[in-house]
Structure 1
């Protein structure tokens, strides 16, 4: 059953309440980081196209970018636990390595990093200006020990030995078709690791196109769905079998 929620997101207090509603605890220090992130994002968006100019209001950024990036965290944690990790909440000292494809304005990688301070992230962004923004952002948020930026295309990175089979998760939001994302992600993932593809649109045709690929490579697929303020979100999870 799809979880349907109508929720207001007019300010950061509303954002904290929304996180709690979806089973995600957030402390004051993390809220401060999200506020700083919002300010930096707005300033840089005047110079380069990080998010749509229609999306720059605080309520829209809180819902469409910040909350959207972390809303499936309980489901993600359940996937990690099933991969052999010790059951945990995001706030325990559990290590997880994440590769984020096409990070752009930092979504979903940076919000996930703020909530999960013991996870390690590699953000892949092929556009130079956006990678400069990401470097500035993580410096200002003091997350440089947690997040690494790569200004390269993923199809080049996944051919490099030092990045092959080392990541627990590969995350991506809305770019490329699912079958392409699977091909990009498999070399990067450990055995038992998961591709997490965030989607908002109908995925029926995409799923039909990946059925053969999933069978040939012996992958398993789970789909989680939630609806917020009449907008449906989907997280497609593709597991690389052990």
Structure 2
């Protein structure tokens, strides 16, 4: 489905099914150890459905909201979410509650339905950490977590980015970011940055 839609609306930078499987699916699933069973997850800038839809399909998530302000991507997400739910039911499973939100992340932080309402916020390839903290931390309930997918160029740029974000993270109730190396060999430069919101 992603391959077909990609030809029309440019959903991913990866052109081959093999690269899509590695860089989208496998990369998304590296966060599974940090996903609490039955949690409410909101994925900002969901685009092609990664990581939010992939984590929802993995069976741990109770509810997932996929957010993208680009209408054609939101349309794809709605079709994909419906197809995933149907496939899970056909296989005898119970799909998570899936919703697509056609909105900018900035608009959700002051929305009573979303502010401090989510257990987990996921963000992949959207912005620098300081901006991600501003968008994501207000959506987390106390004790919730933000997971960001980042890359480490080996020259200290990720460490500098996190240091630059630290004041903002603290002001918004976040703890110091934890950096977790991805152990999948082809994704050796990938990192998961985890920020927990204080109780």
Please indicate, yes or no, whether the TM-score normalized by the shorter chain is above 0.5: yes
User: Deviation at 1:180?
Assistant: 0.8
> Which segments of 5 or more consecutive residues in structure 1 lack a partner in the other structure?
1-39, 81-93
Partner of 1:159: 110
Partner of 2:161: 206
Equivalents in 1 of 2:173, 2:105: separation in Å?
23
Equivalents in 1 of 2:56, 2:195: separation in Å?
21
Instruction: Indicate yes or no: 2:5 matched with 1:44.
Output: yes
Structure 2 CA distance for partners of 1:210 and 1:145, relative to 1, 3 Å:
closer
User: Deviation at 1:230?
Assistant: 6.0
Equivalents in 2 of 1:50, 1:231: separation in Å?
24
Instruction: Indicate yes or no: 2:85 matched with 1:142.
Output: yes
Q: 1:196 aligns with which of 114, 127, 147?
A: 147
Number of residue pairs aligned between Structure 1 and Structure 2: 185
Superposition misfits of 4+ residues, deviation over 6 angstroms: none
* TM-score (structure 2 length as normaliser): 0.86
User: Deviation at 1:239?
Assistant: 1.0
Equivalents in 2 of 1:141, 1:230: separation in Å?
26
| Higher RCO (C-alpha under 8 Å, 6+ residues apart) | 1
1:121-136 alignment runs, 5 A limit? 121-136=64-79
SS in 1 for 2:28: helix
Q: 1:219 aligns with which of 161, 174, 192?
A: 174
Q: 2:191 aligns with which of 209, 234, 239?
A: 234
User: Deviation at 1:214?
Assistant: 3.2
Q: Whose Rg is larger?
A: 1
Partner of 1:13: none
Structure 2 CA distance for partners of 1:145 and 1:197, relative to 1, 3 Å:
closer
Equivalents in 2 of 1:44, 1:230: separation in Å?
25
Aligned-residue Cα RMSD (Å) equals 1.8
User: Deviation at 1:219?
Assistant: 2.3
Q: 1:120 aligns with which of 63, 70, 76?
A: 63
Say if 1:174 and 1:200, in contact at 8 Å, map to a contact too: no
Partner of 1:67: 26
> Which segments of 5 or more consecutive residues in structure 2 lack a partner in the other structure?
87-94
User: Deviation at 1:217?
Assistant: 4.0
Equivalents in 1 of 2:197, 2:54: separation in Å?
25
